[in-house]
Amino acid sequence: MVSVATEPLLLAERRYAIVATPADPLVLENGWSLAPVTLCYEVCGELNAARDNAILITHALTGDSHVAGRYDQSDRKPGWWDDAVGPGKAIDTSRYCVICSNVLGGCQGSTGPASTDPATGRPYGLAFPVITARDMVRAQARLIAQLGINRLVAVIGGSLGGMKALEWAVTYPDRLLGAIPIGGAGRFHPQGIAFNEVQRQAIMSDPGFRGGQYYGTDGPARGLAIARMLGMITYRSDESMWQQFGREMRNPDPGPDLASGLGVAYQVESYLHYQGAALVSRFDANAYLCLSRAMDLQDLSRGFVSYEAGHGGIRAKVLAIGIRSDLLFPTYLQQETVRLVQAAGGDAAYIEMDSVWGHDAFLVDFHLIADRVGQFLGSLTKAA
């Protein structure tokens, strides 16, 4: 692996765009008007003179705009998808201009529940409107228009990001050549909705939640940590848990009285507690509620006579990628996407990651699909 010192420098810095104002608000699917709306975004690579080499990457539930690169030469901050994005990589920043924005409803620089409600001067909290993936995409479309880009090479994302990639293809069929949803779908399945509801209840049942107006306090730290612990279980597979942890105990000699306490005994438990604490330190609980509900609500059939019809207007080429061991977005969902796009006369293909790492495989094992993704992107620009 190339060392940091000799790695080609990829600069990425946070930028901010006001995509909705009181004079031109963002009208949401529920009919509400939201303004002002700011999106935080980062750009890796250069936009060419024709402004036709841009790729939009859409992040998952707790992601942010820092998809790859570093902020400056002295301070390396790894991106969440450095394996995929960079010079000479599958999403090649020496060829493409990569844009990634923190989503509407997020908490990493974009307008969300922690933002100031102009009507009250306080954080929105639970007063922040219910949003959908379509609302997120409409906000992103305004950003892309502000950047002077008429058509994207592709929209790529995993998990909730995969949902948004498909939503882009439905809502703006003429503004992208390709869509690559990885471990995503046009609608969530009932087990996924059930997992999300338990996580939300963990947050809202925490006394520190205070009806969503916990800002300035410690907030529902325990509830958010528990939500993340459950979420992490859905992101992993039984295979990966055996491979990484097995039944290994933190203390290999716990003594004869195993029933004396219910503390953290196994390494897998320690891992979950660590992940829970890590999310609490960087994420807003209300944003977790907002974005997880958006996952539940995603449904390409809205505005169409059927779910099948929702796929009928997709003109972009679709490369749907499933993950063999995915519990959260089982592979039948990506296969269904391909079947429905093809049935409507569209161009769609399916490939599967043979990874033990469950839903997280798109982050952990991207190398398994790197060549295919690079080839797919190359085919889009050749066809154009």
DSSP secondary structure string for all residues of 313-370: T--SEEEEEEETT-SSS-HHHHHHHHHHHHHTT--EEEEEE--SSGGGHHHH-GGGTH
The pLDDT confidence band at residue 5, using thresholds 50, 70 and 90, is very low
Separation CA 29–CA 33 (nearest Å) = 9
Residues 6+ apart with CB under 8 A from 49: none
Predicted confidence (pLDDT) at residue 71 exceeds the cutoff of 60: no
Average pLDDT, the chain: 93
Could you list the active site residues? 159, 326, 359
Q: Is the pTM of this model over 0.85?
A: yes
pLDDT tens sequence across 349-375: 999 999 999 999 999 999 999 999 999
Task: Show me where the domains of the chain are located.
Answer: 15-189+300-383, 195-290
Q: How is residue 380 written in tokens?
A: 């889009």
What is the CATH code of the structural domain delimited by 195-290? 1.10.1740.110
**Alpha-carbon radius of gyration of the chain:** 21
Mean pLDDT for 47-69 is 96
Q: Are residues 107 and 59 in contact, defined by beta-carbon separation less than 8 angstroms?
A: no
Reported confidence tier of residue 149, pLDDT bands at 50, 70, 90: very high
Indicate the Cα dihedral angle 82, 83, 86, 88, nearest 10°: 170
User: And the tokens for 232?
Assistant: 């992490």
Q: Give me the CATH code for the 15-189+300-383 domain, please.
A: 3.40.50.1820
Q: What is the mean pLDDT of residues 32-42?
A: 97
